[in-house]
Structure 1
Amino acid sequence: MSDLEALLIREARPGDLEALIAMFAGDALGGHGDTTDPEVRDDYREAFEAIAASANDTLYVAELDGVVVGTFQTTFTRTLTGRGSAVLTIGSVQTHADWRGRGIGGKMIEAAVAEARVEDCRLVQLMSNSNRVDAHRFYERLGFTPSHLGFKMKLKGR
């Protein structure tokens, strides 16, 4: 059986938090200020609880043999544009560095798009750091097109 046949994509649980923190902290390119410092665990725990309590957000993990190898988050938004249609935004997509290149990211995106279809969304969108050239090629291979220019305003140092 290939790795992908055994891949389980499921909603994240509190017990996954340590693996998720380590995955994000290990991402030097992301620049989000993520860290495994125990002093900030409450920040992550509070964010996890808020996501879990949200009716519009879901945090997922990709798991192989009990090991968290990837993650992503989905957010549903209803807009007035598009005649009041629903939009699914995929965020925080991350495959553990040791597991990249095996199709896990594709399976995670496939699961998110399937969720959007079930919810009759008009559009699936995501943003990617402008420095992630490999990720851009990956998303384009999956059918996404770079159609908009994004802007951000940092309000905190992280």
Structure 2
Amino acid sequence: MLKKLAATLIFLLGAGAVAAQEVTYRTDIAPLWKSRCVACHGAQSPERADFLLDEKGYAEKSQGPRMDSYERLIAFISWPDTGAFMRRLDDGSSQYAGGKSGNMYQYLGSTDAERAANLKLLKGWVGDGAWNLNRWNKRGDVPMVSKEQLDKIQLKY
């Protein structure tokens, strides 16, 4: 009886792990990024350092900083532009958002449902509890990102 219970428990735990498949850059994020974001953040876009030299000029050309690879994209999540990804794509419900969605949230989908689903996917990739709007350094009332917040970042390739 105990062996059957243990076997059932092991099966159920294993099935749960399969059901909650992890979100990865290659399988989930790259295709989403290519369909929704690469037009303004693709190979034609400036590197981050160049973008920072003329943000207004690039914005007038509908070009954001280049984020067309895993390495380029994670710089806007962890460092050096800690939280920029989250601030731009947030739906306004995060702490410190003040109910205002990020300026890129509208591009996550054509409908509210599509935007919500894509945001959920992105949050799953960043990591449970890792979706924070904090920067590397404190700005205004928003404290700097903490080690505990950074430790929650997943970003599976």
**TM-score normalised over the length of structure 1:** 0.24
User: Higher helix proportion, which one?
Assistant: 2
Larger Cα-atom Rg: 2
Structure with greater proportional strand content: 1
